[in-house]
Amino acid sequence: MTDATAPATATAPKTRVAVLFGGRSGEHAISCATAASVLTALDRDRYDVLPIGITPSGQWVRVADDPAPLRLGGDVLPQVSGDGGDVVLPMADDTREVLYTRPGEVPEVLGDIDVVFPLLHGPFGEDGTLQGMLEMAGLPYVGSGVLASAVSMDKHYMKVVLAGHVLPVSPYTVVQPRQWRRDRAAVLDAAAGLGLPVFVKPARGGSSLGITKVSDAADLEAAIEEAQRHDPKVLVEAAMPGREIECAVLGGRGDDAPRTALPGEIKLAEGAFYDFDTKYVDTSGVELICPAELSEATVAQVRSLAARAFDALSCEGLARVDFFVRGEDEVVINEINTMPGFTPYSMYPLMWQRAGMAYGELVDELIALALQRPLGLR
């Protein structure tokens, strides 16, 4: 293994990075687009790159080291397709050798991996399941570990942990599937206590999939059922009027505290919310402003809350903490993303770019952080 921070020399062995993307969540295509950016950014003088795609049904396949077919913008969304082969991770702690197997064929050795860069959003990628698998395989990886990933993915437990650390979150009620089946009236009662409008969302969703803004109580049941199509567990949340402010957090080196960038703002048309189409399809109705125009005091408050949320949830590597900000000092944490959007146009890299860290440098830094961190209990 090499030190990813050291300048490469002609003879220095390269760090072998497995770039993992696609996956089983609704954010498959977004993950492919992110992989296109990271594959382009990885400095081939320093890194040997092994791209591994995960199909929507969960098969791990070897894919070409070519960003072109992974980009968004064509007629069809990018997608990883299977070829009958399986990438197999080493499950013994004395090897990091990855194999490619096909039925009836001799397994092909894909070589040792120094670090895995999971570029997966949503369930089976950002939610601790994959992180557990990489821990089992003894492979270092970029980003948060099992617990932080799982808790941050679940908007219910995320709020429980943040509130437990006396960090501000919006009022909400949880709709458990059993409760919905057995006592729908009690659920609707609890939701009515939040007033209107409310936001109804899958507990473990992302990219705004399955989220509805409900302004009329008569639409609540349909909104809960829509969210349940994405996750049996649903949150109903009081609407937080205010600006949408995001803050990028990067883990500290060694024992250093987490670093925060200057916050950015997602500026939407009046009355709109940041839904899937606004995020990815027709982005003309949204403006990413970085740094956000905020008073010095609000900036300090947002950055401090972002770092505290990162630590409260035991995050590692990277996270983007999203806020609603009203007036000068009313700051509420909306959510934390342990694998935030990561194309060069996404807010997370943009915030670091404004702080003087270019996209490629950010990728280097994340790999360096992953390599310095032990696996297992830490």
Ligand X SMILES: Nc1ncnc2c1ncn2[C@@H]1O[C@H](COP(=O)(O)OP(=O)(O)O)[C@@H](O)[C@H]1O
Q: Find the part of the chain contacting ligand X (CB under 6 A) among 8-16, 199-207, 296-304, 339-347.
A: 199-207
Residue in this structure with the two tokens 């997370």, named with its chain if needed: 348
CB–CB of 37/73 below 8 Å?
A: no
**Residue sitting closest to ligand X (CB):** 274
Of residues 27, 226, 231, 244, which one binds ligand X by CB under 6 A?
244
User: Nearest 5 degrees, angle CA 125-CA 126-CA 129?
Assistant: 60
Q: Minimum CB separation from ligand X for residue 190, in Å?
A: 16
Q: Which helix (H) or strand (E) holds 265?
A: strand 264-268
Structural element, H or E, at residue 47: strand 47-54
Min dist. Cβ of residue 25 to ligand X (A): 11
Stretch that binds ligand X, among 126-134, 143-151, 200-208, 349-357 (CB under 6 A): 200-208
Using the rule CB under 6 A, give the single segment among 34-42, 207-215, 218-226, 295-303 that binds ligand X: 207-215
- In the block, tokens 């590692």 appear at 316
User: CB under 6 A: which stretch of 7-15, 104-112, 205-213, 254-262 binds ligand X?
Assistant: 205-213
* CA pseudo-torsion sign 349, 30, 240, 304: negative
Distances (CA, A) of 257 to 82, 217, 252, 315, 325: 42, 45, 5, 12, 24
**Looking only at residues 250 through 279 of this chain, which bind ligand X when binding is defined by CB under 6 A?**
273-274
Q: Which stretch binds ligand X (CB under 6 A): 60-68, 72-80, 239-247, 346-354?
A: 239-247
Give the 3-state secondary structure of 327-339.
CCCEEEEEEEECC
| Closer Cβ to ligand X, 114 or 335, answer by number | 335
Residues 79-118 that bind ligand X (CB under 6 A): none
Cβ at position 273, least distance to ligand X in Å: 4
| Nearest partner of 261 among 293, 291, 294, judged by Cα | 291
Between the two ends of the chain, the Cα-to-Cα distance in Å is: 20
Task: Identify the three-state secondary structure at position 175.
Answer: strand
Residue of the chain from 34, 152, 170, 173 that contacts ligand X (CB under 6 A): 170
Nearest distance from residue 57's CB to ligand X, in Å? 23
CB-based contacts of 59-63 (< 8 A; 24+ apart in sequence): 59/86, 60/86, 60/87, 60/88, 61/85, 61/86, 61/87, 62/87, 62/100, 62/110
Q: Which stretch binds ligand X (CB under 6 A): 56-64, 180-188, 238-246, 342-350?
A: 238-246
Q: How many residues of this chain interact with ligand X, rule: CB under 6 A? A: 17
Instruction: Please pick, from the candidates 131, 208, 343, 346, the single residue that binds ligand X as defined by CB under 6 A.
Output: 208
Site track 298-337 with ligand X (rule: CB under 6 A), x = hit: ------------------------x-----------xx--
The answer to whether 188 touches 225, Cβ cutoff 8 Å, is no
Q: Cβ contacts of residue 296 below 8 Å, gap of 6+?
A: none
Strands 47-54 and 15-22, bridge-based pairing: parallel
The residue among 273 and 280 lying less far from ligand X, judged by its C-beta, is 273
Examine residue 169 and tell whether it contacts ligand X (CB under 6 A): no
* Residue closer to ligand X (CB basis): 85 or 341: 341
Q: Which is nearer to ligand X, 15 or 338 (CB)?
A: 338
> Of 213 and 308, which CB lies nearer to ligand X in the complex structure?
213
Return the SS3 of 71. Answer: coil
Residues of the shown chain interacting with ligand X in the complex, contacts defined by CB under 6 A = 170, 199, 201, 205-208, 211, 237, 239-240, 244, 273-274, 322, 334-335
